[in-house]
Amino acid sequence: MRKTVLLVDDSAETRRMYAVRLRDEGYDVLEAPDGEAGIRVASENRPDLIFMNMALPELDGWSAIALLKQNDRTAGIPIVALTGFDEQAARARAEEVGSDGFIGKPCEPSRLLEEVQRRLAPAEPG
């Protein structure tokens, strides 16, 4: 069964860049442009992994992670924080709200793919 990754980032170009690489490797990809949409997509689709940018419009990534981790339907989904903010402070704050991992930005698609493969079973081609 194919694994699904949700990309929550306000940059359409960033989402596209990551989505293309993940789809090429056999993962299904969902996308959301802000924290509120990310929560909605995660609740409706229950992806296997979420990458959450921290600097988002409407609802920031820290708040979105906290809400996802408080919801029984989404609490078990691993969430990896993505941010270009000061790494040490951002990592600590991401851990406080329940993030399961942290990647500093800018982040090459290959680094994102490594994290997906580390956290999920290998994708099935096709």
53 pLDDT higher than 70: yes
Per-residue pLDDT, averaged over 7-21, amounts to 95
Question: What is the identity of the amino acid at 115?
Answer: E
Per-residue pLDDT, averaged over 56-83, amounts to 94
Q: Which residues, at least 6 apart from 54, have a Cβ–Cβ distance to it below 8 Å?
A: 60, 61, 62, 81, 82, 83, 85, 90, 94
Confidence class for position 6, pLDDT limits 50, 70, 90: very high
- pTM as predicted: 0.91
Question: What is the identity of the amino acid at 46?
Answer: R
The per-residue pLDDT for range 76-126, each reduced to its tens digit, is 999 999 987 667 777 787 788 889 988 988 888 999 999 999 998 665 555
Cα–Cα distance measured from residue 60 to residue 82, given in angstroms and rounded to the nearest whole number: 12
Per-residue pLDDT, averaged over 57-81, amounts to 94
- CATH fold of 4-119 reads Rossmann fold (3.40.50)
Cα–Cα distance measured from residue 16 to residue 82, given in angstroms and rounded to the nearest whole number: 15
